[in-house]
Amino acid sequence: MIHTLSSTMVFALAQDGRAVHIDEVPNGSKCECLCPACQSPLIAKNGGEERAHHFAHDGRVEDQFCSETALHFAAKQIVADNKNVLLPSPTLLSSEGGSIMEFSEVLIEHRLNISTDDHLHIVADCFGVSGSKSLIIEIAVHHEVDLTKLMKIESLGIPSIEISLRDFANISWNWESLTHQVLYSAQRRKWLWQPITDSEELSVEEEIVTPVLETNQKEWIFDIGGRWVWVKKLPYGNIKVFHRPNDYVRNIVQPLCQNRGFWNPKYNCWVVFDRFQDDVLSSLSQSGRILSH
C-alpha cells in the first residue's frame, strides 16, 4: 500500500553505497543507514503500525530536501539496475510512450565534457550505453533541467530524456511501484533533446500544439522543427534571439526579427527591441513548442 506523508523518506543509503527501502532493514539505529543528502545517520521506523514505515534523522528535524534526494537516489539506481527505459513518444501529440531502449551499461552521475574547457560539461543523472547509441536520462525531483543545462545537452547532440517525479516526492513508495513509474510510465517522461532529420522537420511542424506562453520571464527556449531557438532578456530591456546554423530555422526566425531590431554579427544573434518582445515570442510559440521558460 502507498501512504502519503509530509517529508516521507522511504529510501536511504546503505553501508555498501546502494539505496535500500525501509522494509529491507532492521528497525532503529541497527539499520546503519545514512541520508543520501546530508550523510547524517538515520533511524529506521518500521516496527509499528500507526504510521507508514519511514526513515528519520537521528536527533534532527526532518528536511524535505533530504527526502527528495533519497527518492532521486533510488530512481537513478532503478535505471542502472534494470538497464532499460521506455522512451517518450516520438511525436508531439501522442500521450503514449515510444519503444523501450535496452542498455549494456548505465553510468550514474556521469560527466560529459562539451569541450576542453573544464567549465563546459554536464553531469548526467544516468548515462545509458547501447552499442554505438547512448541516452542521457535526467530524473526531475527537486527541479526540472534548467535552460543552461538544456543548451549544453543540445551542444552535445546526445538524445536526452527527463523523467518527472516531482509530484511524488512525499509518497511512501515500494520498489515495485517506483520501478514502474521510473521505467515505464509514459506520462512521466519527455524528450529534452531528440535528433531529427531534415526530411522529418515538416511532419513535426504539423503536429505542433501551440503552448501557453508566459512573457514575464528572462529566458525562453523553443523547439522549432527539432532545432532550438534561445531567447534571452538583455539588461537594457531588448531581447537576444539565437539559434545554431540551420536554413529551416533561419527562414522562420529571420522574418520575425527583421525590422524589429538588428543583426549582431559579433554574437551571431538578433537583437529585438523591447516593444516587439511579445510579438516575437508569440510568433515563435506558434511556430514550435516551448521547452523552457
Indicate whether 22 belongs to any domain.
no
Q: Is 99 in a helix, a strand, or coil?
A: coil
How many separate domains does the chain show? 2
Query: In this structure, is residue 274 part of a structural domain?
Result: yes
Identity of the residue numbered 163: I
The distance between the two most distant Cα atoms of the chain, rounded to a whole number of Å, is 71
Q: Is the domain of 203 the same as that of 164?
A: no
Rounded Cα–Cα distance for residues 53 and 12 (Å)? 13
Give domain status of residue 108, yes or no. yes
Q: CB–CB of 27/16 below 8 Å? A: no
Of the candidates 61, 106, 53, 52, which has an alpha carbon nearest to the alpha carbon of residue 79? 106
Which residue do the cell numbers 538497464 mark?
83
Domain membership of residue 206 (yes or no) is yes
Write down which residue in 193, 226, 251 finishes a domain. 193
Task: Tell me the per-residue pLDDT of 196-225, one tens digit each, with 9 for 90 and over.
Answer: 644 344 344 444 444 456 667 788 888 887
CA 274 to chain centre: 30
Instruction: State the amino acid at position 212 in one-letter form.
Output: V
Asked if residue 136 belongs to a domain, the reply is: yes
Q: Say what the pLDDT of residue 204 is.
A: 40
Does the residue 75 lie in any domain?
no
pLDDT value of position 87:
92
Three cell numbers, residue 179: 520501478
Would you state the pLDDT for residue 167?
Answer: 77
Whether residue 250 lies inside any domain: the answer is yes
Domain extent, residue 284, equals: 198-292
> In 258-289, which positions are buried (b, 16+ CB within 10 angstroms) versus exposed (e)?
eebbeeeeeeebbbbeeebbeebbebbbebbb
The number of beta carbons lying within 10 Å of the beta carbon of residue 84 is: 14
Rounded to 5 degrees, what are φ and ψ at 254? -60, -50
Q: pLDDT tens digits for the chain (293 residues)?
A: 344 444 578 999 999 999 999 989 999 899 999 999 899 999 999 876 656 788 988 877 777 888 889 999 999 999 999 999 999 887 554 556 678 999 999 999 999 988 766 667 899 999 999 999 999 999 999 888 887 888 888 888 899 999 999 877 667 788 998 999 999 998 899 888 887 644 344 344 444 444 456 667 788 888 887 788 989 999 888 999 998 888 888 999 999 999 999 998 888 899 999 999 999 999 998 888 887 65
* Predicted pLDDT at 7: 55
